[in-house]
Structure 1
Amino acid sequence: MTVRGVRVHVPLGEVVLLLTADGLDLVLPVTIGPREGAAIASVLAGIAPPRPMTHDLTLDLLRAAGTGIDRVEIVGLRGGVFFAEIVLTDETRVDARTSDAVALALRAQVPVLCDGDVLERAGELDLGSEEDAGERPGESELAQFRAFLESVEPEDFDDADS
């Protein structure tokens, strides 16, 4: 899977992570919380925080303990909720929210895989694959994203449950 990006679904105000299936014309939309969306989008935009954020700290702790992340797998879909596992270098599997797993995968630069059944059930036809191919965010999009990051308040995350 390739992380295409994070979008805000304006009518509903939902943050959506878009994953594309490599070699297929499918996209997997995953609704996530705004904090996780910001964590993923900042990596994609190349924005490095001045101090380690939660996902950076988690990765640092794993490395300090002598292990790391080998890959992330999206393994299930139940009741509209995606389930993921972080697979460590010793093949230990750790249950995780998909948003956190993807945020860690991006930081560790490891693959994100998706179970075929999950992709079959939740994947949607990727109508934007040609126009989005190789597209990088422009200055306008980066400015909008930076403004979004600056406007986020701690209270915005009080009820985040994804």
Structure 2
Amino acid sequence: MGVTGVRVRMQAPEQDVLVLLGEAEGERSLPIVIGPHEGVAIATAHAGMQPPRPGPHDLMVSVLTSCGVALTQVNIVELRAGTFIAELVLSNGARVDSRASDAIALALRAQVDVWCAEDVLDEAAVVLETDTDGNMRVSEPVGIDEAEAEVAHFREFLDSVAAEDFADPREE
């Protein structure tokens, strides 16, 4: 999977930061909600920007290199209670538990592949389409049945509706 980008999703009163991974060969995308600091770390690496001093992810890659070990791959292995679980695969055969956001930030810096377990994609991936204004929207839920799709569409509606939308027109 490759990093498609980092997006801020505005939902009053808060905002979510999403990293969007896309299949190299396929149409599914995997949106992962991450923290704002991790979003900056991923977005800057994705853009190829070099900080003046090493940040935590740059430092980790440097430490691994200094120890004669390389990051060879990042695996997103599980979705547990809404949290994506990742592992770092090292050249010495070790596998290290990691938050998905940190693993993605390291993968970009080390220029290694991000792999995602098929069952995670089946559970959490979406198919996106871009409208004429360049906005991305979920075109169809992937890996869910018709009843779950109805619930997903209803949740999208609830996320976009405001209390004023339910005002009685006779009161105006």
TM-score, length-normalised on structure 2? 0.73
The residue aligned with 1:9 is: 9
Bigger proportion of residues as strand? 2
The CA RMSD over aligned residues, in Å, is 1.6
**Unaligned residue ranges in structure 2 (runs of 5+):** 136-172
The residue aligned with 2:49 is: 47
SS at match of 1:71: strand
SS at match of 2:129: coil
Counterpart of 1:108, as a letter, is A
By how many angstroms is 1:23 displaced?
A: 1.3
Counterpart of 2:5, as a letter, is G
Counterpart of 1:21, as a letter, is E
TM-score, length-normalised on structure 1? 0.78
Question: How many pairs were matched up?
Answer: 131
Q: How does 1:132-143 map to 2 (within 5 A)?
A: none
Distance 1:118 1:91 in 2: 23
Higher relative CO (CA 8 A, sep ≥ 6), structure 1 or 2?
1
The residue aligned with 1:103 is: 105
Q: Which runs of 4+ in 1 moved over 3 A?
A: none
By how many angstroms is 1:48 displaced?
A: 1.0
The residue aligned with 1:88 is: 90
SS at match of 1:126: strand
By how many angstroms is 1:63 displaced?
A: 0.5
By how many angstroms is 1:74 displaced?
A: 0.2
The residue aligned with 1:123 is: 125
**Unaligned residue ranges in structure 1 (runs of 5+):** 133-162
The residue aligned with 1:155 is: none
Q: How does 1:29-68 map to 2 (within 5 A)?
A: 29-68=31-70
SS at match of 1:107: helix
Distance 1:46 1:107 in 2: 9
Of structures 1 and 2, the larger Rg is shown by 2
Distance 1:116 1:53 in 2: 32
Identify if the C-alpha distance between structure 1 residues 126 and 91 changes in structure 2 by more than 3 Å, giving closer, same or farther.
farther
The residue aligned with 1:150 is: none
